[in-house]
Amino acid sequence: MPNFRKLDDLGDVAGKVALVRVDFNLPMQDGAVTDDSRVRAAVPTILELSAKGAKVLLLAHFGRPKGARDASQSLSLVIGAVEKVLGKEVMFVPEIAGDIVKQAIGILDNGGIALLENTRFWPGEEKNDPELVKAIAANGDVYVNDAFSAAHRAHASTEGLAHVLPAYAGRSMQAELEALGKALDNPEKPVAAVVGGAKVSSKLDVLQHLVSKVDHLIIGGGMANTFLAARGVSVGKSLCEHDLADTANAILDAADKAGCTVHLPYEVVVSQEFAANPPSLRTCNVHEVADNEMILDCGPASVEALGDVLKTCRTLVWNGPMGAFETPPFDAATVALARMAAALTREGSLVSVAGGGDTVAALHHAGVAQDFTYISTAGGAFLEWMEGRELPGVKALEI
Ligand code: ADP
Ligand code: MG
């Protein structure tokens, strides 16, 4: 795990200005925030800095305004939600640099909190323009990055600032780095990875990286069909990337060489149409899928066997559902495997880390999200970490 400065390393910050990068890219519908979990994730860092007497200036992006002001993507739209979660008043500042920000700092009491405007209103943000970095930094004393989910981007507020101000990981960033480090950088072995989801093409780099890292690679979801087809199994009209057969075989060969055991489903749930509880639903051996059928989930016996694999493991990394879990009963394998992983985690025999938009939704659906050791909500950054890439926003915090 990279070595980075934490809030514990912060000296006396009373009266100083902390520029804090958070992820307030909140989902909204009809003008209302529909999920405030990203705000909740930032609360410990904000309140800790505020309690230490720092003037806390929050930096965040919101949507994709492409370098120009756009009232419909102003961070002023989320300030009510932020105040509600924090239980404190938050000043809104319609700039990210310059005199207006300076004046705001003058008005703020020690411990006061302000939310600056959407960083992406300025073209220099996504270009990581040194001039913009300098201008933002001019109003700050320290930089705290608490947005792991934006750390795969080298932008002014996610990367640039860390080079010009004393830089620290916030509590949520710290928790994420520690959990991910425990799962892949320095895990207790044996390690299992579950990789599922729709397509091999979206997770090629993940698969390639994992075969060199883990002892067991469990492949499920639509992407398993591509591997089965590559091995000569006829998968009927399943979602399948037939053009990736060579790639799939190369991954299987690489796994073999690296001593990684790949687990593909040997028994599957199929139907002739993709609908909830279809009349043509049946469970069969992978070699018995008819031309007019599609594989939509792993079968119960396959899942049972995978549970036995997890029982021998000490660490689990999970990205991607085992089946088309949004449509019943094709959630069964994902739910069953998630519950087995959760039970092993509760018993203390497994460290379990999961991430990915649909994966997190599936674990909540299975009712076990709270039992996993760590759930990353970071989407793109989580996947890039699973690909073994260095995240620029994390790298910049290293000491
Ligand atoms: P994540 O967001 O967690 O990274 P993905 O986006 O890669 O996950 O994959 C999730 C999607 O994969 C879900 O919408 C699910 O319905 C789909 N999926 C999983 N298995 C199948 C399958 N056998 N056939 C079709 N779609 C599938
Ligand atoms: Mg997804």
User: Could you tell me if residue 292 is inside a domain?
Assistant: yes
Span 140-156, pLDDT tens digits: 999 999 999 999 999 99
- Tokens at residue 212, please? 């060199």
Q: Sign of the CA dihedral 359, 360, 364, 365? A: negative
Q: How much distance in Å is there from the Cα of 248 to the middle of ligand 1?
A: 18
**Among candidate residues 149, 172, 195, the one where a domain is terminated:** 172
pLDDT for residue 225 is more than 70: yes
167 and 198 share one domain: no
User: Could you tell me if residue 391 is inside a domain?
Assistant: no
What is the percentage of the chain residues whose pLDDT exceeds 70? 99
237 and 355 share one domain: yes
Task: Please tell me the total number of residues recorded for the chain in this structure.
Answer: 399
Give pLDDT, residue 373.
96
Span 122-135, pLDDT tens digits: 999 999 999 999 99
302 and 376 share one domain: yes
Expressed as residue numbers, the domain containing 338 is 187-386
Give pLDDT, residue 211.
96
Ligand located closest to 219 CA: 1
The rounded distance, in Å, linking the Cα atoms of 57 and 98 is 13
128 and 53 share one domain: yes
**Among candidate residues 140, 172, 204, the one where a domain is terminated:** 172
Confidence tier at 377 by pLDDT (50, 70, 90): confident
Ligand 1 pocket test: pick from 204, 302, 353, 358 the residue with the most ligand atoms within 8 Å of its Cβ: 358
Ligand 1 atom nearest to 224, measured from its CA: 23
With a CB cutoff of 8 Å and minimum separation 6, the contacts of 60 are 21, 22, 23, 24, 25, 75, 115, 116, 118, 119, 147, 157
CA distances from 162 to 47, 291, 293, 373 (A): 21, 56, 53, 29
Q: Tell me phi and psi for residue 40, to 5 degrees.
A: -60, -35
Give pLDDT, residue 184.
86
CATH of the domain at 381: 3.40.50.1260
Give pLDDT, residue 137.
98
User: Could you tell me if residue 336 is inside a domain?
Assistant: yes
With a CB cutoff of 8 Å and minimum separation 6, the contacts of 46 are 20, 22, 56, 58, 86, 113
- Between helices 79-86 and 37-51, what is the axis angle to 10°? 60
Task: Give me the number of domains the chain comprises.
Answer: 2
Span 26-74, pLDDT tens digits: 999 998 999 998 999 999 999 999 999 999 999 999 999 999 999 999 9
Q: How much distance in Å is there from the Cα of 271 to the middle of ligand 1?
A: 17
pLDDT for residue 237 is more than 80: yes
**Which has the closest alpha carbon to 255: 302, 208, 202, 196?**
208
Q: How much distance in Å is there from the Cα of 134 to the middle of ligand 2?
A: 36
226 and 368 share one domain: yes
Is the distance from the beta carbon of residue 221 to the nearest atom of ligand 1 less than 6 Å?
Answer: yes
User: Can you give the pTM of this predicted structure?
Assistant: 0.91
pLDDT for residue 2 is more than 70: no
**Among candidate residues 172, 202, 229, the one where a domain is terminated:** 172
Give pLDDT, residue 186.
86
Is the distance from the beta carbon of residue 204 to the nearest atom of ligand 1 less than 6 Å?
Answer: no
pLDDT for residue 374 is more than 80: yes
pLDDT for residue 246 is more than 80: yes
Q: What is the mean pLDDT of residues 107-120?
A: 98
User: Could you tell me if residue 393 is inside a domain?
Assistant: no
Q: How much distance in Å is there from the Cα of 36 to the middle of ligand 2?
A: 20
108 and 257 share one domain: no
User: Could you tell me if residue 180 is inside a domain?
Assistant: no
pLDDT for residue 1 is more than 80: no
Span 310-359, pLDDT tens digits: 999 999 999 999 999 999 999 999 999 999 999 999 999 999 999 998 99
247 and 143 share one domain: no
The rounded distance, in Å, linking the Cα atoms of 194 and 372 is 14
259 and 144 share one domain: no
111 and 230 share one domain: no
217 and 143 share one domain: no
User: Could you tell me if residue 392 is inside a domain?
Assistant: no
13 and 130 share one domain: yes
pLDDT for residue 281 is more than 80: yes
Tell me which residues are annotated as active site.
Answer: 38, 199, 357, 380
334 and 380 share one domain: yes
Is the distance from the beta carbon of residue 323 to the nearest atom of ligand 1 less than 6 Å?
Answer: yes
Rounded to the nearest integer, the mean pLDDT of the chain is 96
User: Could you tell me if residue 1 is inside a domain?
Assistant: no
User: Could you tell me if residue 397 is inside a domain?
Assistant: no
